[in-house]
Amino acid sequence: MQVKKSNVNLDTALIILDKSIPLFARSGFAGVSIRDIAKIVGISGAALYHHYPDKQSLYIAAMKHSFADMASSIQSILEKKSTPEERLEYFVTSFTKQIGNNPNFRALLQRELLDGDEERLKLLADIVFKEPFKAIKKLAQDMDLDCDAHLLAISIAGLILFHFETESIRRHLSGGLKKHNDPKIIAKHVIKLLTGMIGK
């Protein structure tokens, strides 16, 4: 009987995360209340607090949940026994596809960077991004280029993210084509840029 109760609680906790992610993505941390989330989930505020002690705990859990599949995939790909060039290609292809298919995560990340709340950013860095970033940084080190591995890791992820973040304005710039929003096209472009660096 106790196991069944635990499963129900787990299911409710996941439902809360799934329902809160699009709300936070659309309105940001400050724009969403516990009451808003409880209402859309169909539970009371008190019941929601049973799963998450405060809004910030829920928000960090929602970010982590939104990024979980990507984080797992990143580490799995980057731990493969293969050359740095092969791991780079696998990573860029997979990460670009996942970022392209997860507009809520992109919106959450952009909002956090714009809000600039130091406490939340530190929590996100420690709880959500720390391990995947270490894996990307290790790849950057293995590429053996004459540059800082931390900055290179940021640049690799940034090359991918920026293409999606700027989509709304890119389409109005000279030469902008619909195909430029295709994750496969973006991935090929980024791989070409980065492997060109390796070849020099």
Is the CB of residue 55 less than 8 Å from the CB of residue 34?
yes
What is the DSSP secondary structure assignment for residue 166, as one 8-state letter?
T
CATH number, domain 2-198, options 3.40.50.300, 3.90.226.10, 1.10.357.10, 3.10.20.90: 1.10.357.10
DSSP sequence for 20-50: HHHHHHHHTTTT--HHHHHHHHTS-HHHHHH
The yes-or-no verdict on residue 132 having pLDDT over 50 is yes
pLDDT of residue 7: 44
Nearest alpha-carbon partner for 156 in 186, 180, 178: 186
pLDDT of residue 2: 37
pLDDT of residue 10: 61
The yes-or-no verdict on residue 25 having pLDDT over 80 is yes
Is the CB of residue 20 less than 8 Å from the CB of residue 80?
no
Predicted TM-score (pTM) of the model is 0.84
- Name the percent of the chain lying above pLDDT 70: 93
Q: Is residue 9 very low, low, confident or very high in pLDDT (cuts 50, 70, 90)? A: low
Is the CB of residue 144 less than 8 Å from the CB of residue 84?
yes
pLDDT (tens digit, 9 = 90+) per residue, 60-113?
Answer: 999 999 999 888 888 888 888 899 999 999 999 999 999 999 999 999 999 999
Residue 23, classified by CB atoms within 10 Å of its CB into exposed (0-12), middle (13-18) or buried (19+), is: middle
The yes-or-no verdict on residue 160 having pLDDT over 50 is yes
CA distance 84 to 78: 9
CA distance 13 to 7: 10
pLDDT of residue 126: 94
Q: Is residue 198 very low, low, confident or very high in pLDDT (cuts 50, 70, 90)? A: low
Please give the structure tokens belonging to residue 68: 């979980």
Question: What is the phi-psi region of residue 141: left when phi exceeds 0, alpha when psi lies from -120 to 50, beta otherwise?
Answer: alpha
Number of H helices, E strands in the chain: 11, 0
